[in-house]
Amino acid sequence: MRVVTWNAGRVSTVASVALAGQLSGARLRDTYAETISSLTLTLIRMRDNALVLGPLTLLRFGAPRVTRDAVDWPIEGGLLAGAAGGHWRLKAASGRVEAALTGYRPRLPRPVYVLTHLQVHQLFTRLYLLRLRGREPAPGGVAAAPDRWRAAAVDVAFCLTLARMTGRRRLRRTLAITAAYHVACWSIGGRTLGGLVLRQRVVAVDGSRLTLAQSLLRLVVLPLSWITRTSVHDDIACTEVISDQQKKGRRLAAP
């Protein structure tokens, strides 16, 4: 679930996912710092209650208020903030974990912020929440690796056919068609043509539909999975391929 609202130039966002267990406020505080560092390959870190990129302070927070099931950081400034004010709050209660940004004034003009900073914020927040949720329990029967490869073969053949129909089969055109096709299919319903044939679909680890940014991330990291022969793209994008036939299979390096 994601909600974005504006009031007098200040933005508030709320995102949440179902959570099987319970997390303390201290654990939410610590895992957030760890996840930010992990997702950015340590480029961005939480240091002295601030998100920093090298010598740059992106966002500066006040001392966090930690309770039994939540942590709340007041926003005090930074390069990305247009003014002090607002809060960044994480809470785990009633079977859900929620991340809420309230009353934040971005430094960027609203149209630019919506297309840039907000998209990054929502992607990082979603990945953080999905990592907290974890892969267990699985959102469905995991598709077997051989079936995933068969579905991929169908999709490759389909994309090559589309590229041929548009004219000369140039590499750039083929790659563009393949990228647009997969991102659109994953974002809209989770099913490519190969997925329809093999009765499988891509979902987030909580069973929800992928966001556009999540689909793009999964596609960008996909070649790394072919190299390592592990499902790195699913691990990073917090996705899973599930089968409508409820087949169980090991998570190998499959598309």
Q: Does a structural domain hold residue 248?
A: no
Q: Are both 115 and 9 inside the same structural domain?
A: yes
Q: Are both 110 and 151 inside the same structural domain?
A: no
Q: Does a structural domain hold residue 255?
A: no
Q: Are both 128 and 149 inside the same structural domain?
A: no
Q: Are both 21 and 115 inside the same structural domain?
A: yes
Q: Does a structural domain hold residue 55?
A: yes
Q: Are both 111 and 200 inside the same structural domain?
A: no
Q: Does a structural domain hold residue 251?
A: no
CA distance 103 to 172: 43
Q: Does a structural domain hold residue 138?
A: no
Residues near 84 by beta carbon (within 8 Å), at least 6 away in sequence: 75, 76, 77
Q: Does a structural domain hold residue 187?
A: yes
Residue 15's CATH number: 3.30.530
Residue 76: burial class (beta carbons within 10 Å; 0-12, 13-18, 19+):
middle
Instruction: Please list the pLDDT of the chain residue by residue as tens digits (255 residues).
Output: 679 999 999 999 999 999 888 899 999 999 999 999 999 989 999 999 999 999 999 999 999 999 999 999 999 999 999 999 999 999 999 899 999 999 999 999 999 999 999 999 999 999 999 999 998 888 889 999 999 999 999 999 999 998 888 776 688 888 999 999 999 999 999 999 999 999 999 999 999 999 999 999 999 999 988 888 888 999 999 999 999 875 444 444 556
Q: Are both 11 and 115 inside the same structural domain?
A: yes
Instruction: Pick the last residue of a domain from 89, 105, 133.
Output: 133
Q: Does a structural domain hold residue 250?
A: no
Q: Are both 103 and 125 inside the same structural domain?
A: yes
pTM, to two decimals: 0.89
pLDDT at 9: 95
DSSP annotation of 110 reads H
pLDDT at 166: 79
pLDDT at 1: 63
Q: Does a structural domain hold residue 249?
A: no
Q: Are both 129 and 171 inside the same structural domain?
A: no
Instruction: Pick the last residue of a domain from 133, 157, 187.
Output: 133
Residues near 178 by beta carbon (within 8 Å), at least 6 away in sequence: 156, 159
Bond from prior residue into 137 cis (ω within 30 degrees of 0): yes
Looking at the 3D structure of the chain, how many domains does it have?
Answer: 2
Q: Are both 22 and 99 inside the same structural domain?
A: yes
Q: What residues make up the domain containing 64? A: 2-133
